[in-house]
Amino acid sequence: MSSPEIASLSWGQMKVKGCSTTYKDCKVWPGGSRTWDWRETGTNHSPGVQPADLEEVIKKGVKTIVIGRGMSEALQVPPSTVDYLKKNGIDVLVLQTEKAVAEYNALAAQGVKVGGVFHSTC
């Protein structure tokens, strides 16, 4: 199963190819996507992305995770989260969201088992 292409990104809106939903923040993995609801794990801009935000994506068998920190990179990614991924044998890229989406799409197009979490505003 391949990772779906992110078809479009603009402030506060993301579309994933093959999905009719418009996301504000989203999670993607080989074969699927869904809204990334920060309330599920109590995520805020600081301290930022927690391992709990990534567990669902990891369970889909990804080898690489791309984290989009927002258009202005307001969303933090603590070193403990990066360490958590590396300890689980997962490569991680933490980038500004437009760059993150471009990198994610490039990896997906190469057939990499890539997942991601993307914040589409600040």
Could you report the per-residue pLDDT of 35-81, keeping only the tens digit for each? 999 999 999 999 999 999 999 999 999 999 999 999 999 999 999 99
CATH number at residue 56: 3.40.1230.10
C-alpha angle 59-63-67 in degrees, rounded to nearest 5: 85
Residue 19 within a domain: yes
Q: Report the number of distinct structural domains present in the chain.
A: 1
- Spell out the SS3 assignment of 28-59: EECCEEEECCHHHCCCCCCCCCCHHHHHHHHC
Residue with tokens 């992110």: 6
Domain that holds residue 13: 6-118
Residue 36 within a domain: yes
Res. 1 pLDDT band, cuts 50 70 90? confident
For the chain, first and last CA: distance in Å? 32
Residue 80 within a domain: yes
Q: Kindly give, in sequence order, each residue whose CB lies less than 8 Å from that of residue 28, ignoring residues fewer than 6 positions away.
A: 3, 4, 6, 16, 57, 104, 115, 116, 118
Residue 1 within a domain: no
